[in-house]
Chain A
Amino acid sequence: MNESQQIDCEAFDAHAEELALGQLDEPLRGRLLAHAAGCPHCHSLIDGLGTVADRLLLAAPQIEPPADFESRALARLGAQTHGAGRRLAGFRGLVGAAVAGAAVAAAVFLVLAPDDRQGAVTTAPIVATAGADVGSVQLIADPVPHLVISIPAPRPEPGIRTCELRRADGAWEEVGWWDAADIATGVWAVGIDAALLDATAMRITSGGDVIATATFG
């Protein structure tokens, strides 16, 4: 293809598979992607083909690497950590990562200290179904939207606790869950969608039963 040639849908279509397979070089690759960014049809095409091409990689045979592979890889990361190459993990990245994992398992907990509350949007007491205040929940906007639950004396019973927020339209949305056995400290945090900063209530369920609630505002 002539590099000065305008990329239209027909030209994009002709290169879509190579693009999805990661086989194209610049500048053609960039020009095709620029076209797709402004063309819903081609964007959908490459999105679908790319998803297929990427997921097919899972079909590759799994082969044991040399015995010292893990130790060498860790040593390599360690060298980077102590050198200039490692970026510092900014909080945005940390919570971004937490958001990514939140829907699956909240086993990494980001915790907020008392002197960092300026980003809090809303705080509400958490009330157990028996009527007692058991802790607090905060919806925090900065630096990225997240929720922090603090329950100083969590129930000792093991089990999965699910956290849901009630959106402005009244619908409940699950934002994550934790295993009580893994969070004896009673503090849990999760990144949330910015739209949920306007949540009107929060509830915690266990085995389908509501065990605590909080009402914002």
Chain B
Amino acid sequence: MPESTTENLCCGDVILVTSSTTSGRMSQSVGAVRSYIVVMRHVDRLSDEALLSAVALDERDAAAVFIRRFQRRVYGLALTMTGDAALADDLAQVTFERAWRHAGTYDARRASVATWLLTITRNLAIDALRVRRATPFDPDLLSQLLPPSAGVDPQQAAVEADQLGRLGVELAVLPMDQRRAVLLATLAGRTAREIADIEDIPLGTAKTRIRTGLRRLRAATAEVSP
């Protein structure tokens, strides 16, 4: 963990000192603005956003913590979407590489770090699945994806869906057919045509379920986040 020193600072001497391994690399990284130095302490306690900032600064300790913090989410989504452990592993690796490469473009106003990272995974998985859509859908997967059953007490649903917040509550109270379609489209990366095959329903019905479900979620969440 980098440590800072505090000796002999005068007013205006706004310099912090990082560990030697970090400062040398930082001096190179920032190029012309060579006097900007970064100090990171207690990297493992950083918020997701601050941690990503540190990753953007090429800080290896931060990168390790970042990977450790998010690898289960990233790998879990990749495996859910592809059903192929080797491919999921590769996609998850590429996800972290891209996150590290593009960390400086992250915009906290648009999404949480976790959401931002998972969209990278999703897009990679969709591209991969276009090339090799051979994995049959595992029906057990859907039951794992489904949130609390319809009709559940909204307050209880809120507790169980804390990661999703209000969206999780609304998802839990969607009609089952719409929930299945929405989750297959989002978490399993399935197209309307594939959902029609999985659910044994007409294509138009699959499209309608996705459309209606997503728009209901949009309307419900928009009500609380103007």
B-binding residues in A (CB < 8 A): 17-18, 20-23, 48-49, 51-66, 69-70, 72-74, 76-78, 80-81, 85-94, 96-98, 100-101, 103-116, 133, 135-136, 143, 148, 150, 152, 182, 184-187, 189
Known contacts A61-B145, A80-B97; A91 and B167 CB within 8 A of each other: no
Decide if B222 touches A108 in the complex (CB within 8 Å).
no
Decide if B42 touches A59 in the complex (CB within 8 Å).
no
Decide if B115 touches A54 in the complex (CB within 8 Å).
yes
Interface string of B62-82 (1 = CB under 8 A from A): 011001100111011101100
Decide if B13 touches A114 in the complex (CB within 8 Å).
yes
B24 in the interface, Cβ–Cβ < 8 Å? no
Decide if A53 touches B214 in the complex (CB within 8 Å).
yes
A90 CB contacts on chain B under 8 angstroms:
30-31, 104
Interface string of B114-132 (1 = CB under 8 A from A): 1100110111001000000
Interface string of B41-68 (1 = CB under 8 A from A): 1100111111011101110100110011
Return the contact of B108 from the options A70, A73, A104 (Cβ within 8 A).
Answer: A104
Return the contact of B119 from the options A54, A72, A80, A96 (Cβ within 8 A).
Answer: A54
Decide if A61 touches B80 in the complex (CB within 8 Å).
yes
B164 in the interface, Cβ–Cβ < 8 Å? yes
B211 CB contacts on chain A under 8 angstroms:
17
A21 CB contacts on chain B under 8 angstroms:
185-186
| Assembled-state Cα–Cα distance A59/B96 (Å) | 19
B33 in the interface, Cβ–Cβ < 8 Å? yes
Return the contact of B53 from the options A80, A100, A186 (Cβ within 8 A).
Answer: A100
Size band of the B side of the interface? 35 or more
B92 in the interface, Cβ–Cβ < 8 Å? yes
B14 in the interface, Cβ–Cβ < 8 Å? yes
Known contacts A49-B215, A65-B72; A94 and B30 CB within 8 A of each other: yes
B60 CB contacts on chain A under 8 angstroms:
74, 77-78
| Assembled-state Cα–Cα distance A114/B36 (Å) | 10
Known contacts A54-B119, A114-B12; A73 and B93 CB within 8 A of each other: yes
Distance from A186 Cβ to chain B, minimum over Cβ atoms (Å): 6
Decide if B73 touches A55 in the complex (CB within 8 Å).
no
B57 CB contacts on chain A under 8 angstroms:
89, 94, 97, 108
Distance from B56 Cβ to chain A, minimum over Cβ atoms (Å): 4
Known contacts A77-B97, A89-B56; A150 and B11 CB within 8 A of each other: yes
| Assembled-state Cα–Cα distance A135/B12 (Å) | 8
Decide if A70 touches B163 in the complex (CB within 8 Å).
no
| Assembled-state Cα–Cα distance A14/B164 (Å) | 27
Known contacts A56-B164, A91-B33; A107 and B118 CB within 8 A of each other: no
B31 CB contacts on chain A under 8 angstroms:
88, 90-91
Decide if B187 touches A100 in the complex (CB within 8 Å).
no
Return the contact of B36 from the options A58, A70, A94 (Cβ within 8 A).
Answer: A94
Decide if B119 touches A63 in the complex (CB within 8 Å).
no
Decide if B218 touches A112 in the complex (CB within 8 Å).
no
